[in-house]
C-alpha cells in the first residue's frame, strides 16, 4: 500500500468516526499507536473535520455574537494545531530520508509532502460531504445531479493528488527531489509578534 493509499484510508476512517456522533465536542479516540505516523494522520484529519463543522456553525446568520467570537477563537487555535501537525508529518519525512544521497540534478518541489497531504485530508472531507448531498432527501433531482458531478471531480482530484504525492515521495527517496521545509511563522498567535497583543503589555 502506498503512502497516499494509507493516508486516504485513515482520513476516511477519521471522517466516518467523527460522524458517528457528529458533534464538535466529541473527544477524539485515536485507534493508532501513539507517536506513529498513522496516529498523526488520524488526529490531523479529526481536527480538520471538527474545524469543518465549526466553520459551518459560525456561518449561521442567527448565531449569538458572543458564541461566534468563541468559535472564531477556537478556529484560530485549531489552525495552529493543524499547522503543528503538518510540521510533524514533514519531520517524519525529513527523518526517514535524512540519509538519502541527493543527486546533483535534484530539484526542489513547490511544497513539502506534508502540505500536499494536508490538501488530501481536506479532500476527504469534501468528498464525504458532497456525497451526502448526492443522497440527500427533500431536494431536487437537479441538486443531486449537480452534486454527483462535483463528487466525481473531487474523486478524480483525490486520485491525481494521491498519485502526485506518491511520486514526490518516491523522488525524494531516490534523491531526484529534495525536501526543504520552512516552518510556518504564524505571527498573529505570538504575543511577541502580534502588535495588538504585545501593545497591551
What is the band of 153 on the pLDDT scale with cuts at 50, 70, 90? very high
Please say if the pLDDT value at position 201 is more than 60.
no
Considering only CA atoms, which of 39, 50, 40 is closest in space to residue 15? 50
46's grid cell: 479529526
Q: What mean pLDDT comes out for the span 113-129? A: 98
Please say if the pLDDT value at position 21 is more than 60.
yes
- Identify the pLDDT of residue 76: 93
Domain extents in the chain? 3-196
Inter-CA distances, 189 with 47, 61, 80, 200, Å: 18, 27, 8, 14
HEC profile for the chain? Answer: CCHHHHHHHHHHHHHHHHHHHCCCCCCCCCCCCCCCHHHHHHHHHHHHHHHHHHHHHHCCCCCCHHHHHHHHHHHHHHHHHHHHHHHHHHHHHHHHCCCCCCCCCCEECCCCHHHHHHHHHHHHHHHHHHHHHHCCCCCCHHHHHHHHHHHHHHHHHHHHHHHHHHHHHHHHHCCCEECCCCCCCCCCCCCCCCHHHHCCC
Amino acid at each position: 500500500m502506498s503512502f497516499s493509499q494509507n493516508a486516504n484510508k485513515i482520513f476516511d476512517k477519521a471522517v466516518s468516526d467523527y460522524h458517528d456522533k457528529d458533534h464538535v465536542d466529541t473527544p477524539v479516540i485515536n485507534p493508532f499507536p501513539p507517536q506513529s505516523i498513522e496516529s498523526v494522520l488520524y488526529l490531523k484529519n479529526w481536527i480538520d473535520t471538527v474545524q469543518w463543522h465549526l466553520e459551518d456553525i459560525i456561518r449561521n446568520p442567527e448565531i449569538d455574537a458572543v458564541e461566534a467570537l468563541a468559535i472564531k477563537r477556537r478556529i484560530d487555535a485549531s489552525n495552529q494545531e493543524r499547522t503543528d501537525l503538518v510540521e510533524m508529518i514533514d519531520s517524519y519525512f525529513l527523518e526517514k530520508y535524512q540519509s538519502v544521497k541527493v543527486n546533483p540534478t535534484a530539484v526542489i518541489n513547490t511544497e513539502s509532502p506534508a502540505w500536499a497531504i494536508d490538501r488530501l485530508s481536506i479532500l476527504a472531507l469534501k468528498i464525504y460531504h458532497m456525497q451526502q448531498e448526492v443522497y440527500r432527501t427533500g431536494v431536487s433531482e437537479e441538486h443531486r445531479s449537480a452534486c454527483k458531478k462535483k463528487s466525481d471531480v473531487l474523486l478524480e482530484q483525490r486520485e491525481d493528488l494521491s498519485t502526485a504525492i506518491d511520486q514526490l515521495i518516491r523522488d525524494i527517496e531516490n534523491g531526484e527531489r529534495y525536501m526543504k521545509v520552512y516552518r510556518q511563522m504564524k505571527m498573529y498567535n505570538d504575543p511577541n509578534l502580534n502588535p495588538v497583543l504585545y501593545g497591551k503589555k
